[in-house]
Structures are given as C-alpha cells and as structure tokens.
A = this chain, B = another copy of it.
C-alpha cells in the first residue's frame, strides 16, 4: 500500500519544486512515503529528534504549499500530513478522498479507492472542495478486537 520510492526519486521531487536537497527534507520524505497512514508532527519529532522542531514545522509547511503533502486533521484536531497522490499541484490540492480515523490506534488513512459522491448544496453555497471523514476501526485494529472476543 505504501508508495515505495528511493532516495533518488526524493531528490528529484525536491528539484522539481525548486527546493534544495537537504538531509532533513529527504528524511521527512522517506519517512512519510514509507507509511500508508498520515503522520503528525509529534510523530515526526519522536523519530527525528535531532532535527529542530521549527525546521520540521517549516518543512511540512513548504511541502504543503508545493503540493507534495496535504494536511488533514484527526478526531482530536491535531494536524496530520500525508503524501499527495498524482494530481496535486502548487496551491491547489486535490484531496477529495476519504480520511479514515481509527479510534483505537489513532492512525489516519487516506482512502483513495473510494470516489466521492456527487453532492448538491442548499442554494447560495458555492463549494470549492469536499473532504469526507470516517471514524471507526482500521483493518489491523478490527482484527485485534475479533481476537479479544474469542
């Protein structure tokens, strides 16, 4: 499920967006691409505790501006970041997919397999984008629960 990429590809990504290839940035990219769930900044901090908190903050911000990652909020309102798929470009995110919040492991999954239903809003509202959130148990946690039941 996780998109596998090597370091050369990460360097290319940075170059494409006119960003300098730096160690912190490459590490953030490889960490985020190795997971199939979104990552919160505290997550990143605990893994890369030698990188400054503010640096991570700014890296995430610029990645988001450039359309490399997008930000989603979990059930507690903390920001999580996930790699964008294909069609995001600078300042225009195409993240109309389902964000699944697992209530047990707290992970946030981006479900791209599901296409958004067409929706009509009440008169006057002009929608620019939709995001759908679901909460419940992810595959791993629902299995665990089943084991417990037996």
Interface 1/0s, chain A 128-142, versus B by CB < 8 A? Answer: 111111111111001
| Stretch of A11-19, A23-31, A56-64, A72-80 contacting B (4+ beta carbons < 8 Å) | A72-80
- In residues 92-150 of chain A, which contact B (Cβ within 8 Å)? 98, 100, 103, 109, 111, 113-114, 117, 119-139, 142-143
The answer for the CA separation of A142 and B122 in the assembled complex, in Å, is 13
Contact of A122 among B78, B103, B114, B119 (CB under 8 A): B114
Number of copies: 2
Please tell me the size bucket of the interface on A: 35 or more
A-B contact pairs, 30 of them (CB 8 A): A73-B77, A77-B77, A77-B78, A77-B79, A100-B121, A100-B125, A103-B128, A109-B125, A114-B119, A114-B121, A114-B122, A117-B117, A117-B119, A119-B132, A121-B134, A124-B138, A124-B139, A125-B136, A125-B142, A126-B142, A127-B136, A128-B136, A128-B137, A129-B134, A129-B135, A130-B132, A130-B134, A131-B132, A131-B134, A133-B133
